[in-house]
Amino acid sequence: MSNIESTNNPYLLLTPGPLTTSDTVRLAMMKDWCTWDDEYNNIVQGIRKDLIQLATTNTEKYSTVLMQGSGTFSVESVIGTAIPRDGKLLVIGNGAYGYRIGEIAEMLNIETVMLDSGEVSDPDIDELDRTLAADKGITHVAVVHCETTTGRLNPIEKVSGVVKKHNRIFILDAMSSFGGIEMDIDQLGVHYLISSANKCIEGVPGFGFIIVNKDEFEKCGGNARSLSLDLYNQWKTMEENNGKWRFTSPTHVVRAFAQALKELQEEGGVAARAARYRDNQRTLVEGMRKLGFTTLLSDENQSPIITSFNFPDADSFTFAEFYSRLKTKGFVIYPGKVTNLDTFRIGNIGAVTPEKVNDLLTAIEESSYWKSPV
């Protein structure tokens, strides 16, 4: 087991990213790097290779591109580069991040179909099948794997089967799942997988990454609607210049991410990390239910990444007060993001163990100010 405990933070971040990192990941940022130097660019190349190996056993079919900015920058770079000017996108939407993909496409003047099943429902796989059969103009399909609006884990295996059946290009937003949930993107037929440094690989914010099917991506030159978010040119520059980024890269963040990847392997890889996250989430939900809280989603739809809880049935409860009391005890949780429902969210990824989750549960019990004294 790697060093997943953190000793120097004033509080534990229980969010879906940014998240609590290990001391050794943060320590890796304590050296300055030159973006032109081979020592630094070799680190970049190692990251690119390692990410493919995490994603699939059929590594020869794929390549990795790193992109500055938040995860949304990486999503926009894919939507704006992968889809040609005459292309058409279908988005499976059941939360804020699926809807955001649609908003990005609209801003880029990409014709888009939104299959909106609502924020608390599964995607309608039959409707996806019917829509792709009826509309031959749809070229690409995008879905969010873990919709952290609610904590739902979308059924990407079922989506994949339909997308492959209709021979469309598959874009997987695995922002909050890659590195924390086992998958093989070649078996799923994924052409573009998008994620970020500050999620399940447990790095710090500053860049995202896209794992691309090389045969499909080679067709994308000249598609980009943006200079800085031209994913194809970013890839070509990295391919031809030993990992060099087109514009200034977040050097300290990259070095921290290399350390985070090392610690992922030391922990036992994605399978071991996924098991820890599942243990965290199970400990959390069982403890919260004992304290009288209810989950927004049923257990079968729940991801191991983040969980939405309904507000307690008490007029005196406010999230702001609850949040403040927990923060003073060393824990930071997340507000809700579901439209017209009163919820809050607790994440369990990052340098978090079930023991820390139990400490959180104790703090929540002590902070339940809305309950009548026994």
Is pLDDT of 374 > 50? no
Residue with tokens 């194809």: 232
Largest distance between two CA atoms of the chain? 69
SS3 sequence of 264-330: HHHHCHHHHHHHHHHHHHHHHHHHHHHCCCCECCCHHHECCCEEEEECCCCCCCCHHHHHHHHHHCC
What pLDDT digit, counting tens, does each position of 122-141 carry?
999 999 999 999 999 999 99
Stretch 14-22: mean pLDDT, rounded? Answer: 92
Res. 119 pLDDT band, cuts 50 70 90:
very high
pLDDT band at 2 (very low <50, low <70, confident <90, very high): very low
* Domain locations along the chain: 12-19+269-366, 25-265
pLDDT at 1: 39
Using the predicted structure, report yes or no on whether residue 333 has a pLDDT greater than 90: yes
Give residue for tokens 């922002």.
Answer: 175
The stretch 43-66 carries a mean pLDDT of 98
Tokens read off for 366? 């002590």
pLDDT for the residue numbered 371: 86
Pick the CATH number of 25-265 from 3.40.640.10, 3.30.1490.20, 3.40.50.300, 1.10.10.10: 3.40.640.10
CATH topology of domain 12-19+269-366: Aspartate Aminotransferase, domain 1 (3.90.1150)
Query: Is residue 112 left, alpha or beta, with left meaning phi > 0 and alpha meaning psi from -120 to 50?
Result: beta
pLDDT band at 4 (very low <50, low <70, confident <90, very high): low
Q: Which of 66, 14, 363, 326 is nearest to 194 (CA)?
A: 66
Mean pLDDT score, 224-239: 98
pLDDT band for position 10 (cuts 50, 70, 90): confident
Closest C-alpha to 277, from 359, 353, 196, 204: 353
Average of per-residue pLDDT values in the chain:
95
Q: Interior CA angle at 76 toward 53 and 103, to 5°?
A: 135
- Backbone dihedral region for residue 340 (phi beyond 0: left; psi -120 to 50: alpha; all else: beta): left
Residue 114: strand pairing partners:
91
Q: Is there a contact between 369 and 325 (Cβ–Cβ < 8 Å)?
A: yes
Q: What is the pLDDT of residues 152-189, one digit of tens each?
A: 999 999 999 999 999 999 999 999 999 999 999 999 99
Q: What is the pLDDT of residues 236-276, one digit of tens each?
A: 999 999 999 999 999 999 999 999 999 999 999 999 999 99
